[in-house]
A and B are shown apart, each in its own frame.
Chain A
């Protein structure tokens, strides 16, 4: 479980995250959404230790995520993965395995499911955007991490691979993993998410079970429910 307590972060005079407190529960897919500039990327990067915490704390099973050892429990899939261009897919996977030498488990199932076994000896620079995304997915799931942070994971994936990927996310969630998912495709969030966090101007304005949220506004469409919620908030 990830617990975020009173997290704040500024860049210069820009206050990006303001007193954020929330928890990401195991066995649930939590979707993080919000308008551009709401602080989603900064929040994700702070959880990953890429952005230094200004005040507050982020704990994974009671340990600070700023400690690099804690990060062994996290699998991350970025929006645009990048690796040294001349290295092959096989070398990249071996490289990450060496970095995670203390993680005993290996799961190459996704590699075959996404058809990457045919791309193993190709240099990273020759891969298409979608294939690079597949490499990133395989690496994120490879060590069976307790926590998965998936940032726009299906961007660039073909429909079949996207479906395979989403099925895998569901499986991981059922097996008790904590999953944080961001996407601009609300339909995808409807399909996958159990919980919803809406971030606006660096503040959590909504943290609710997705089903509860949809039933509050008596709709099956997340887009519609959000539109009603935001307009009500603005009116108030």
Chain B
């Protein structure tokens, strides 16, 4: 019984077209960026934008559709002698692992089969790893939101709202605040503000790993000055892990007490 739910759903996911569409789409974009830029470093920077902006929202929407679409199935499984916690964890993992593999392979493959990508294989592995963490955070947020809102349209609306806020509005608000309060020292507050947004954390981590903190403006440079590269990388990674665990834990608790 231990892995039955996971294996059953995993098999179903592997037969689903969607995973292969994600793989092909990311692979094509990665390939095109590498071919047209002719420079692995430039194509990695372009891929960073794709990773931070589009992949999380696509994965989040797909996760929400998965949860809404499997509601009756979850009900049916719960009428069997199955623990609620086991069901949600195995179901999410079975959904998430094929998606994570598709993201990983989609980014990596062109850097392996195109010669100009070879020197950047390490960097693209790092990038796909962090993209998967960020997409995982958004996927878990999507689980939490879908479990909290029975109305699919409302749930998707809330989810898109969160994504817009974390991906676009938050940075705008931060910039506005820093500018408006430029007479004051906002170093610590800026660091705290960055910690509250997984997209910013992922962006800073990616650029720090690629020695691009200088490109980050205020917050990245602050992080580097504040912590130094290694400690900075470790502290940002820990914050990202916390961001991963919080929606995961809340989703788990929500599922345990949910009325279907």
Binding site for B on A (CB under 8 A): 11, 45, 48-52, 68-69, 71-72, 74, 76, 78, 80-87, 91, 95-96, 98-102, 123
Asked whether A71 lies within 8 Å of B81 as measured between CB atoms, the reply is yes
User: Complex formed: what's the CA distance from A138 to B72 in Å?
Assistant: 17
Asked whether B79 lies within 8 Å of A49 as measured between CB atoms, the reply is yes
**Given A82-B73, A84-B8, A95-B8, residue A68 in contact with residue B257 (CB < 8 A):** no
CB distance from A93 to the nearest CB of B (A): 12
User: Complex formed: what's the CA distance from A50 to B11 in Å?
Assistant: 26
- Chain A residues contacting B259 (CB-CB under 8 Å) are 11, 45, 50-52
CB distance from A183 to the nearest CB of B (A): 19
- Besides A48-B78, A80-B72, A99-B4, 11 other A-B contacts (C-beta < 8 A): A45-B260, A49-B78, A50-B75, A50-B79, A68-B83, A68-B84, A81-B76, A82-B70, A86-B12, A95-B8, A102-B81
User: Complex formed: what's the CA distance from A11 to B150 in Å?
Assistant: 12
User: Complex formed: what's the CA distance from A228 to B170 in Å?
Assistant: 64
B residues 1-35 near A (Cβ < 8 Å) are 1, 4-5, 8-9, 11-12, 15-16
- Chain A residues contacting B11 (CB-CB under 8 Å) are 86-87, 91
**Given A11-B259, A50-B259, residue A83 in contact with residue B73 (CB < 8 A):** yes
- Chain B residues contacting A45 (CB-CB under 8 Å) are 75, 259-260
- Chain A residues contacting B9 (CB-CB under 8 Å) are 84
Asked whether B16 lies within 8 Å of A86 as measured between CB atoms, the reply is yes
Asked whether A76 lies within 8 Å of B76 as measured between CB atoms, the reply is yes
CB distance from B20 to the nearest CB of A (A): 12
Binding site for A on B (CB under 8 A): 1, 4-5, 8-9, 11-12, 15-16, 70-73, 75-84, 257, 259-260
**Given A52-B257, A85-B12, residue A78 in contact with residue B75 (CB < 8 A):** yes
Asked whether B15 lies within 8 Å of A86 as measured between CB atoms, the reply is yes
18 A-B pairs, CB-CB below 8 angstroms? A11-B259, A50-B75, A51-B259, A52-B257, A68-B81, A71-B79, A76-B79, A81-B72, A82-B70, A82-B72, A82-B73, A83-B73, A84-B8, A87-B11, A96-B80, A99-B4, A100-B80, A102-B81
Which 5 pairs from chain A and chain B are nearest by CB? A84-B12, A86-B15, A82-B72, A50-B260, A72-B81
- Chain B residues contacting A51 (CB-CB under 8 Å) are 259-260
Asked whether B78 lies within 8 Å of A99 as measured between CB atoms, the reply is no
User: Complex formed: what's the CA distance from A84 to B75 in Å?
Assistant: 13
- Chain B residues contacting A85 (CB-CB under 8 Å) are 12
CB distance from B168 to the nearest CB of A (A): 33
Asked whether B72 lies within 8 Å of A99 as measured between CB atoms, the reply is no
**Given A84-B12, A87-B11, residue A99 in contact with residue B257 (CB < 8 A):** no
CB distance from A157 to the nearest CB of B (A): 18
CB distance from A189 to the nearest CB of B (A): 23
CB distance from A113 to the nearest CB of B (A): 22
